[in-house]
Amino acid sequence: QNNDPFSSFHDQTNQWQSPLEGLAPLPSLSLEPSSSTAAIVTTASPITINAGPRHSHEIDITKQQSQSQQTPVKLKTRSTGTTITALLAQNSTVLILAADTRATDGSTVADKRCEKLHSLARNVWCAGAGTSADVDALVRRVKFVFWKKGVLTKEGFGGVGNMNTSNNKSNQNWGMDATIADEDREVPTASVLAVLHYIRTQLQKTQGNLGANLLVGGYDHDSHRAHLAAIHPHGSMDVITYAALGSGGLAATGVLESRYPQIGSAECSVEEGIKLAVDAVRAGVDNDLGSGSQIDVCVIRREGVLYRRAVVREEELEWMGVSDGYREDILEIPKISEDETERGTGVNGFGNVPFAIQSKKVVSGGQLLDAERERKRWLAEVFGDINNDNNCDE
């Protein structure tokens, strides 16, 4: 007699089977091989855990890996040329911008009067280098955004950003030069820092696909100071007191670094700052084929904005007609005096003076020379030209 109280449950436990094992039997855990208990392994379908970023700051790693494995497409680019400079003056209360006006399409001059100084707000301007279409599109976008924000304020065309709206009456009387277009006059005043933050955010979203190198600055009514920053295509920003960008920026930077500290850096006068900015752009024009034509200057200060085009006009060759004796000077044969003949001016100092070589060439004899002389004498005897024998000995 079996005294085990659980003996009646052993058979039922061994015969019990999970309903899931009927669909996918579990592999045998026994160490002895058995043909009846072969392990069956099924391949499960892949499951997507994360279909994509659900937050603005969430990064989809799988998407980045798939994009990195793709073959990069090499875009066809064209070289552009420009020279832009900017600096602070008069104890950092005045901003001076300068730029050339040549726009190039490869090796072709597309425009000789291109406008590279743009108004972003009533008190904020920028100088653009890079692709002209990208710079113009970015300028229009920034101008419209801040114009719309100024309209939506309760004070109408008040300050945008962190501008103090208590000075709106003084901001409305902001002096604008007569040469500035009407669309730039209707733009409200804005905070320089707000404009810089918006531009760098837009460029960072494009990941460098916009070819826009900007020198952005203006006068801040709250701090009563002028600010200047250089913004690059990927969104990086440098807050500086002077800078030069573009294909001619290397030569312009050399002029700024050598002369800007000598005139007192940001404490220089407005006249000295304008002259230095113009000379820096002129250095870029002289040393860069993509820069040229005329030079434009913009001065932003507490009283207002002064914008002048063609401060330095394009250099042109003087035209000489037939009446000025131009053709006669070309067609006339120059006469050489006796003194010039004796002096011997010209290439290598000889000029038109006849000369003769007084040295002789001495050739030493040898077996090869004797063999060549015998060959020529034999040829002369064969062909009956005995007179060539004397010529061979010369």
- Is residue 82 annotated as a catalytic residue, yes or no? yes
The residue type of 152 is L
Per the CB < 8 A criterion, the answer to whether 231 and 200 are in contact is yes
Name the residue with tokens 């409305």: 172
Q: Are 298 and 117 in contact (CB under 8 A)?
A: yes
Q: Strand 124-130: give its sheet, edge to edge.
A: 117-119, 124-130, 212-220, 225-231, 237-239
Strand ranges for the chain from DSSP E: 84-89, 94-100, 103-105, 108-111, 117-119, 124-130, 175-176, 212-220, 225-231, 237-239, 242-245, 295-300, 304-312
Tell me whether residue 125 is exposed, middle or buried, using C-beta atoms within 10 angstroms of its C-beta: 0 to 12, 13 to 18, 19 or more: buried
From CA 307, how far away is CA 178, in angstroms rounded?
Answer: 8
Choose the catalytic residue: 80, 82, 104, 189: 82
Q: Which is nearest to 248 in space by CA: 114, 78, 80?
A: 80
User: In whole angstroms, what separates CA 296 from the centre of its chain?
Assistant: 20
Residues noted as catalytic: 82
